[in-house]
Chains A and B, each alone.
Chain A
Amino acid sequence: MKKLTRRDFLAAGGTASVAALAAGCSFGTGQQKAAGSGGSKSVTIWDISTGDQQKLIKNTVARFDSTHKDISVSVQFFQNDPYKNKLRTAMGAGNPPDIFFGWGGGILKSYVDAGKVYALPQGSIDTNKFFPSVMRPVTFNGKVYGVPMLGTQPVLFYYNKEIFGKYNLKPPKTWSELLSIVKTLSQKGITPISLAGQNKWPDLMYEEYLVNRIGGPKPFQNVLDKKPKAWSDPAFIKANTMIQQLVSMKAFPSNFASLNYDTGQSTQLLYTGKAAMQLMGAWDYQAILSNAPQFIKSGKLGWFPFPKVEGGKGNPQNVAGNLTNYYSVTQASKAKKAAVTFLSKGIMNDYEINGLIKIGLVPPVKGIQSKLKQQKDSDWLLFVYDLAQNAPYYDLSWDQALPARAAQALLTNLDLLFLKKITPQQFSKNMNKAMGL
C-alpha cells in the first residue's frame, strides 16, 4: 500500500520527500460555499495523491463543486505514512472526513468490521462500468464500500530491449525460459533482474505470482479464510523453493537487500543497462518516464507479463498488483447523501477518465480501448489495459489483502527467505504461527 506514494515520491523529485516526511504536510483546496448553504451538504475528502494526480483530483473536485450549487466539496492532501496514522486516529476518535482514500482489502475490512464505513446504497453507484475484479476488494457481504478513483496497476516484467537484443534473447513465456535467460545473462556479467529488497514489498510480487501460477488463487484464499495450516500448502513451499533457487542463481544484484525503490536505485539499474529486467507495478513506467525519458523514447524499454509455470494449476493470465485506489464514505459523515452523489457523479466521469489517461494511467473502466489508442503511449496503455481486463483473477497485493499484523509478518519472513536465512518450510511455519493458523 506504500507503492503509490513511492512512485509519486519519484515523480516529485526523490529527495524532496525527506522534508515532506518530517513535515507530514497537509493543505486544503476548494473554496467554502457561502454560509447558509447548509453545513450538512459540505463534504470533506482526505487523499494522498501527489504531482499530476493531485492536480487532476483538485480539478475534478473543483469541477463538481462549481456545477453543484447545493454541495460544497473540498479535498485535503497528506503524506502516505502520516495519512494512515491520522486516518486510524480520526476513525477511532470519531472525527473522520466524509470521504477517505483507500486501497481496499484487509485494511478497509478492518474499518468495515469496526462499523466505521458506510455501505453505499444499492444502485447508487454504477459498478458495472468497472472491471469486476476491481470491485472485489471493496465488496464485503454483498455490500459495496468503495468506488475506484485512480488507474489500475498490475505487476509485470520490464526489460531492457538493448540487452536482450545484444544476446539474442526473447521475452520468456515460461519459467524455465526465464531461468535460461538468467543463466545466459549472469554468464555475460550482467545482473539479470533488479530487485529493491530493502523495501520488502518487491519480494512479495514474486511470491504472489509464483503461488498463483503454481496453485491458482486457492492457496492464498485459504489464508484469507483462516483455514488451519493454510501457509503449509505445497504451492507456497514450491514457490519459495523456486525463489531461493533464483537467489542461488544470482539472478538479483549482490546488494539487493539494501537496494531502495524509493530513491530509484533498483529502477536505475534497469535503464542504465546494468540489469536486464525488473518485476514491478505499472507505476514504474511513470518513474522511468520522469527519470529517464530518453530510455522510453528511444524504444529500449520493453515489458512482458509474468511467465507461466510449467505444470502449474493457475491460469497464466492471472495478474497481481494494485487493483486501483478507492474513495469510501465514513459512517460518521453528516453528509452521506451528498458524499454518495459525489462518488456517483463527481469521479470516474469522462472528465476524470480522460485526465487519467492523459497522465499515463489506465482507469479500470470497461470499453475505453479507443480512447487509449489515440494516446502517444498507446502500446503501453493498451498492454496494461488488456493485462488487467483479461485477467480471470486479479490478485490484490497481499500486504493490502491481509490485516496489518499478518502483512508485516509476511514482509519480514519474505525478507528472511530471500536472504536464505530461513527455508521454505520454516517460512510456512512462521506464517502459520504469526496468523494463528
Chain B
Amino acid sequence: MSGRLSWSISLMLLPAVAFFVVFALGPMIAAVYISLLDWNGISTPHWVGFGNWAKAFTDSVTLHSIFLTVQVMVLSWIVQTPISLLLGVFLAGRQRYRALLGVFYFLPLLFSAVAIGLIWASSMLSANGALNSLLQAIGASSLTNDWLGNPNIALYAVIAVIAWQFIPFHTLLYQAGTRQIPQVLYEAARIDGAGTLQQFFYITLPQLKYTVVTSTILMLTGSLTYFDVIYVMTGGGPGYATRTLPLQMYITAFQDAQIGYGSAIAVILAVVGVLLSLIMIRLTGFGRMESQAEGL
C-alpha cells in the first residue's frame, strides 16, 4: 500500500476522529481554558490568566502532593519491578504447577480497584485487622500499628497495596517477554556450560530490555494516575500524608469547588505524563525498535 490514505479509508476514519475530537481533544482544550478562570462551577467565572498556574507552583499543599507523587512513582518502581521480573521469568516455564500458581498470582488483577482498597483498608490494615492479628499471633505485638491512621506510615501502606494490585499485570508482561526469547540462546549457553544464574544475567535480562522499558513507562505514567485505591483507603489523609497530585486535583476541583485551580493541576498532570513517556522513549532508544534477534 502507498503512504497516502485513499479517500475511502479516510472516510472510514472519520467517526473515530470525530469521537476523538469531541470526547478527548475538546475536553482537554476546555480544561486548559478553565484553568485560566477563577470559577466555583456555578457563579460567573472570572478571568485570572495564569493566576491558578502561579498558585500551583507556590501552594505548599500542591507542592507537597507533587513530592508525594514522585515518591510513589520511585518507590512503586523499586518495589514492583524486581518482584514482577522474577515472578514473570519464573512463570514463563512450562510446567503445569506453574500455570496453576500463575492463576493465583493473577487474582489481584481481576478485582476492581475500589474493592481492593476497601478490603485492604477494612480487613487487613485496620487496627484490629488481619495484619495486626498476624503480628500479635507470631509474638511481634510491638510491630502492630495503625497502618492507615499513622501519618508516617500511611503512604508506605498505600504503596504496598498498589504494588499488590499491579505486580500481576507487570508479571504478565515479563512472562510474555521471557517466552519470546529464542530457546537456541539457552541451548547454546548450556553447551558452553553456563549455569542458571549466568543464563539469567547474560541472556534473559538483556533480552528483556524492552519489556523493562515498557513496564517502566507504564509504571511511571500509571503512578501519576493512582487515584481510586488511595481515595478509598485514606481519602488523602491523615492530614495531607497521602494526598498525591491526582487526589489534590479531585479535592481541589470538586470538594473545594475551585474548578479553575483544579483544572490547572489536571493540565500539569497530563503534561508531566506525556513528557515522562517521551523522555523514557528517548533515553532508552525504544523508538528505534531495532531487532534483538539479529543473526538468529
Q: Does residue A405 face the partner (Cβ distance < 8 Å to B)?
A: yes
Chain A residues closer than 8 Å to B255, beta-carbon distance: 404, 408
Report A434 CB to chain B, min CB distance, Å: 9
Kindly supply a per-residue 1/0 record for chain A positions 95-137, scoring 1 wherever the CB is within 8 Å of any chain B CB and 0 otherwise: 0000000000000001101101000000000000000000000
Closest to B243 in A: A412
B residues contacting A by CB (< 8 A) are 40-44, 114-115, 118, 122, 125-127, 146-151, 235, 237-240, 251, 254-258
Kindly supply a per-residue 1/0 record for chain A positions 405-425, scoring 1 wherever the CB is within 8 Å of any chain B CB and 0 otherwise: 100110010011001010000
Complex Cα spacing A253 to B148, Å: 14
Complex Cα spacing A197 to B254, Å: 22
Chain B residues closer than 8 Å to A88, beta-carbon distance: 41-42, 257
Chain A residues closer than 8 Å to B256, beta-carbon distance: 404-405, 408-409
Complex Cα spacing A405 to B251, Å: 9
Complex Cα spacing A21 to B44, Å: 31
Contact A255 B149 (CB under 8 A): yes
Contact B239 A415 (CB under 8 A): yes
Contact B149 A114 (CB under 8 A): no
3 A-B pairs with least C-beta separation: A257-B149, A258-B149, A255-B127
Q: Name the contact of A419 in the complex, choosing from B115, B122, B239 (C-beta under 8 A).
A: B239
Complex Cα spacing A114 to B43, Å: 5
Q: Does residue A241 face the partner (Cβ distance < 8 Å to B)?
A: no
Report B136 CB to chain A, min CB distance, Å: 14
Chain B residues closer than 8 Å to A38, beta-carbon distance: none
Complex Cα spacing A255 to B147, Å: 9
Q: Does residue A83 face the partner (Cβ distance < 8 Å to B)?
A: no
Contact B127 A92 (CB under 8 A): no
Q: Which of A208-258 contact B (CB under 8 A)?
A: 253-258
Chain B residues closer than 8 Å to A18, beta-carbon distance: 114-115, 118
Kindly supply a per-residue 1/0 record for chain A positions 12-53, scoring 1 wherever the CB is within 8 Å of any chain B CB and 0 otherwise: 000000100110000000000000000000000000000000
Q: Which of A18, A255, A260 gathers most chain B CB within 10 Å?
A: A255
Contact A92 B41 (CB under 8 A): yes
Chain B residues closer than 8 Å to A412, beta-carbon distance: 237, 239-240
Complex Cα spacing A198 to B115, Å: 19
Given A197-B149, A198-B237, A412-B237, A91 contacting B257 (CB threshold 8 A): no
The size bracket of the interface on A is 35 or more
Chain A residues closer than 8 Å to B240, beta-carbon distance: 412, 416
Complex Cα spacing A91 to B238, Å: 33
Chain B residues closer than 8 Å to A85, beta-carbon distance: 254
Chain B residues closer than 8 Å to A255, beta-carbon distance: 126-127, 146, 149
Contact B146 A113 (CB under 8 A): no
Contact A91 B42 (CB under 8 A): yes
Q: Name the contact of A408 in the complex, choosing from B125, B146, B251 (C-beta under 8 A).
A: B251
Contact B239 A404 (CB under 8 A): no
Complex Cα spacing A110 to B44, Å: 11
Given A91-B42, A412-B237, A405 contacting B257 (CB threshold 8 A): yes
Contact B151 A419 (CB under 8 A): yes
24 A-B contact pairs sorted by A residue (CB < 8 Å): A88-B41, A88-B42, A91-B41, A91-B42, A92-B41, A92-B42, A110-B40, A114-B40, A114-B44, A198-B148, A198-B237, A198-B238, A255-B126, A255-B149, A257-B237, A258-B125, A258-B127, A263-B122, A404-B256, A405-B258, A408-B256, A412-B237, A412-B240, A416-B238
Chain B residues closer than 8 Å to A263, beta-carbon distance: 122
Complex Cα spacing A198 to B148, Å: 9
Chain A residues closer than 8 Å to B258, beta-carbon distance: 405
Contact B40 A404 (CB under 8 A): yes
Chain A residues closer than 8 Å to B40, beta-carbon distance: 110, 114, 404
Complex Cα spacing A405 to B255, Å: 7
Chain B residues closer than 8 Å to A265, beta-carbon distance: 126
Contact A415 B149 (CB under 8 A): no
Report B116 CB to chain A, min CB distance, Å: 12
Contact B41 A416 (CB under 8 A): no
Complex Cα spacing A403 to B41, Å: 13
Contact B254 A415 (CB under 8 A): no
Chain B residues closer than 8 Å to A257, beta-carbon distance: 146, 148-151, 237-238
Chain A residues closer than 8 Å to B41, beta-carbon distance: 88-89, 91-92
Report B48 CB to chain A, min CB distance, Å: 14
Beyond known contacts A258-B126, A404-B40: 18 more, CB 8 A cutoff: A88-B42, A110-B43, A113-B43, A114-B43, A200-B237, A255-B149, A257-B148, A257-B238, A258-B148, A265-B126, A405-B256, A408-B251, A408-B255, A412-B237, A415-B238, A415-B239, A419-B239, A421-B151
